[in-house]
Amino acid sequence: MTNSFALHIPDLDLEPEPLGPDQIVSGTPEVTGKVLWESEDGRRLHGVWQITPGVVTDVEADELFVVVSGRATVEIEGGPTLNVGPGDFAVLREGDRTTWTVHETLRKAYSITLGTG
């Protein structure tokens, strides 16, 4: 079990998390992130993630996130379109096929629960 902690998300140094070439639809988006906590079984993660402007696709895990800075439009195939910006809370479901159009470099704090496979 990890001790309780607090940190200032805007100042956090993040590490490169390269996108697969098949995920990039347009632009030259770059992703960075940092896992801050992981459960012993590896199924739950808390962290910070950032993406620079561009358009990318993804298949989501069960996730809730809060946008700290930046703006994006997240189109969910067969579902709603989410316009997110600073202070917004959002939930994605496992298996959601998404297209992220990042208008301004977006940084979010997230909590993910991975499926059992």
- pTM of the predicted model, to two decimals? 0.92
Compute the residue count for the chain.
Answer: 117
Please state, in angstroms and rounded to a whole number, the distance separating the CA atoms of residues 64 and 112: 7
Residues of the chain where predicted confidence (pLDDT) is lower than 50: none
Determine the pLDDT at residue 23: 97
- Whole-Å CA distances, 8 to 5, 13, 17, 68: 11, 10, 21, 10
pLDDT digits (tens, 9 = 90+) for 1-15: 568 889 999 999 999
Distance CA 97, CA 76 (A): 6
d(CA 34, CA 51): 12
Residue 2: per-residue pLDDT: 65
**In 3D, which of 31, 65, 15 has the Cα closest to residue 45?**
65
Which structural domains are found in the chain, ordered by start? 14-113 (2.60.120.10)
